[in-house]
A and B are shown apart, each in its own frame.
Chain A
Amino acid sequence: MLDLTPKEVSERKALRINPLKTCQPVGAIYAALGVHNCMPHSHGSQGCCSFHRMFLTRHFKEPAIAASSSFTEGASVFGGGSNLKTAIKNIFEIYNPDIIAVHTTCLSETIGDDLVTYITDAKIPEGKIVVHTNTPSYVGSHVTGYSNMIVGLINYLSQNTGEKNGKLALFPGFVNPGDMREMKKIMTLMGVEYTMLPDTSGVMDAPMTGTYNMYPKGGTKVDDIKDLGNCELSIGLGEITSIAPAEFLEKKCKVPFQSLPLPIGVELTDQFVMSLNHFSKNEVPYALEEERGQLVDILLDSHQYTQNKKVAIYGDPDTVLGLAAFALEMGMIPKYLTTGTPGKDFEANAQALFEKFGVEDCVAKSNVDLFLLQQWIKNDGVDLLIGGTHGKFLAKAEDIPFVRAGFPILDRYVHSYLPLVGYKGGMRLAEMILSALMDRQDRDCEDEDMEMIM
Chain B
Amino acid sequence: MRNEKDILPERAQSIRFSECSGDGSGIKCEAESVSGSISQRACVYCGARVVLNPITDAFHIVHGPIGCSSYTWDIRGSLSSGDEIYRNSYSTDLRERDVIFGGEKKLIAAIDEVMAMHAPKLIFIYATCIVGVIGDDIVAVCNAAEEKYGIRVIPVKSPGFSGTKKTGYKAACNAIMSLIRPATLPVKKTIGVNILGDFNLAGEMWIIKEYLRRIGVKPIANITGDSTCEDLKKAPTAQLNLVQCAGSMTYLAKQMEEEFDIPFIKVSFFGVTDTSDSLMRIAYAIGGEEIISKTKAFIEEEKNRVIPLLNRYKKNLEGKKAAIYVGGGFKAISLIRQFEEFGIKTVMVGTQTGSKEDYALIQSLVGEDTIILDDANPAELESFMLEMGADILVGGVKERPLAYKLGVAFCDHNHERKRPLAGYQGSLNFASEINLSMNSPVWETIAIGGK
Q: Which A residues lie at the B interface, using CB under 8 A? A: 1-4, 6, 10, 12-19, 21-23, 25-26, 41, 44-55, 57-58, 61-73, 75-76, 83-84, 86-91, 93-95, 105-107, 110-111, 136-139, 141, 206, 208-214, 340, 371, 390, 393
Q: How far is the CA of A83 from the CA of B99 in the complex (A)?
A: 24
Between A and B, how many residue pairs show CB distances below 8 Å?
249
Q: Does B129 sit within 8 A of A, measured CB to CB?
A: yes
Contacting A6 at CB < 8 Å: which of B7, B108, B117?
A: B117
Q: Does B147 sit within 8 A of A, measured CB to CB?
A: no
Q: How far is the CA of A95 from the CA of B35 in the complex (A)?
A: 13
Q: Please name all residues of chain B whose beta carbon is closer than 8 Å to the beta carbon of A19 when the two chains form the complex.
A: 66, 69-70, 73, 89, 91, 93
> Quick check: which of B235-243, B396-404, B422-430 contacts chain A, the rest being far away?
B396-404
Contacting A70 at CB < 8 Å: which of B32, B45, B96, B398?
A: B32
Q: Please name all residues of chain A whose beta carbon is closer than 8 Å to the beta carbon of B109 when the two chains form the complex.
A: 13-15
Q: Is the pair A210, B406 in contact by a Cβ cutoff of 8 Å? A: yes
Q: Is the pair B65, A94 in contact by a Cβ cutoff of 8 Å? A: no
Known: A10-B117, A210-B406. 10 other contacts (CB 8 A): A14-B109, A14-B112, A46-B39, A46-B164, A47-B46, A63-B401, A76-B133, A87-B35, A208-B446, A210-B407
Q: Is the pair A14, B39 in contact by a Cβ cutoff of 8 Å? A: no
Q: Which B residues lie at the A interface, using CB under 8 A? A: 5-8, 10, 32-46, 61, 64-73, 84-85, 87-96, 98-99, 105-110, 112-114, 116-118, 128-130, 133-134, 159-164, 378-379, 382, 397-398, 400-402, 404-407, 446, 450-451
Given contacts A14-B107, A58-B397, contact A212 B402 (CB under 8 A): yes
Contacting B7 at CB < 8 Å: which of A18, A63, A94, A209?
A: A94
Q: Please name all residues of chain A whose beta carbon is closer than 8 Å to the beta carbon of B35 when the two chains form the complex.
A: 68-70, 83-84, 86-87, 90
Given contacts A61-B401, A94-B379, A95-B38, contact A23 B65 (CB under 8 A): yes
Q: How far is the CA of A58 from the CA of B8 in the complex (A)?
A: 28
Q: Please name all residues of chain B whose beta carbon is closer than 8 Å to the beta carbon of A41 when the two chains form the complex.
A: 36
Contacting B160 at CB < 8 Å: which of A48, A53, A62, A213?
A: A48
What distance in Å separates the Cβ of A171 from its nearest Cβ neighbour in chain B? 24
Q: Is the pair B67, A26 in contact by a Cβ cutoff of 8 Å? A: yes
Residue with the greatest number of chain A CB neighbours at <10 A, chosen from B33, B35, B382: B35
Q: Is the pair A54, B38 in contact by a Cβ cutoff of 8 Å? A: no
Q: Please name all residues of chain B whose beta carbon is closer than 8 Å to the beta carbon of A105 when the two chains form the complex.
A: 129
Q: How far is the CA of A1 from the CA of B216 in the complex (A)?
A: 33
Q: Please name all residues of chain B whose beta carbon is closer than 8 Å to the beta carbon of A110 when the two chains form the complex.
A: 99, 129-130, 133-134
Q: Is the pair B161, A45 in contact by a Cβ cutoff of 8 Å? A: yes
Q: Please name all residues of chain A whose beta carbon is closer than 8 Å to the beta carbon of B66 when the two chains form the complex.
A: 16, 19, 21-23, 137, 141, 340
Q: How far is the CA of A208 from the CA of B65 in the complex (A)?
A: 36
Q: Is the pair A90, B10 in contact by a Cβ cutoff of 8 Å? A: yes
Q: Is the pair B96, A136 in contact by a Cβ cutoff of 8 Å? A: yes
Sample of 9 A–B contacts (CB below 8 Å): A2-B84, A14-B112, A15-B90, A22-B67, A73-B162, A106-B94, A110-B133, A210-B450, A211-B406
Q: Please name all residues of chain B whose beta carbon is closer than 8 Å to the beta carbon of A213 when the two chains form the complex.
A: 405
Q: Please name all residues of chain A whose beta carbon is closer than 8 Å to the beta carbon of B406 when the two chains form the complex.
A: 210-212
What distance in Å separates the Cβ of B117 from its nearest Cβ neighbour in chain A? 6
Q: How far is the CA of A83 from the CA of B33 in the complex (A)?
A: 11
What distance in Å separates the Cβ of B52 from its nearest Cβ neighbour in chain A? 15
What distance in Å separates the Cβ of B34 from its nearest Cβ neighbour in chain A? 7
Contacting B46 at CB < 8 Å: which of A12, A51, A91?
A: A51
Q: Please name all residues of chain A whose beta carbon is closer than 8 Å to the beta carbon of B89 when the two chains form the complex.
A: 16-19
Given contacts A45-B160, A51-B42, A137-B67, contact A106 B130 (CB under 8 A): yes
Q: Is the pair A12, B113 in contact by a Cβ cutoff of 8 Å? A: yes
Contacting A47 at CB < 8 Å: which of B34, B45, B105, B378?
A: B45
Q: Please name all residues of chain A whose beta carbon is closer than 8 Å to the beta carbon of B90 when the two chains form the complex.
A: 15-17
Q: Is the pair A390, B84 in contact by a Cβ cutoff of 8 Å? A: no
Q: Is the pair B69, A209 in contact by a Cβ cutoff of 8 Å? A: no
What distance in Å separates the Cβ of A45 from its nearest Cβ neighbour in chain B? 3
Q: Is the pair B113, A16 in contact by a Cβ cutoff of 8 Å? A: no
What distance in Å separates the Cβ of A121 from its nearest Cβ neighbour in chain B? 15
What distance in Å separates the Cβ of A393 from its nearest Cβ neighbour in chain B? 8
Q: How far is the CA of A209 from the CA of B91 in the complex (A)?
A: 42
Q: Is the pair B405, A4 in contact by a Cβ cutoff of 8 Å? A: no
Residue with the greatest number of chain A CB neighbours at <10 A, chosen from B66, B99, B106, B382: B66
Q: Is the pair B41, A50 in contact by a Cβ cutoff of 8 Å? A: yes
What distance in Å separates the Cβ of B114 from its nearest Cβ neighbour in chain A? 6
Given contacts A14-B113, A47-B43, A138-B98, contact A89 B451 (CB under 8 A): no
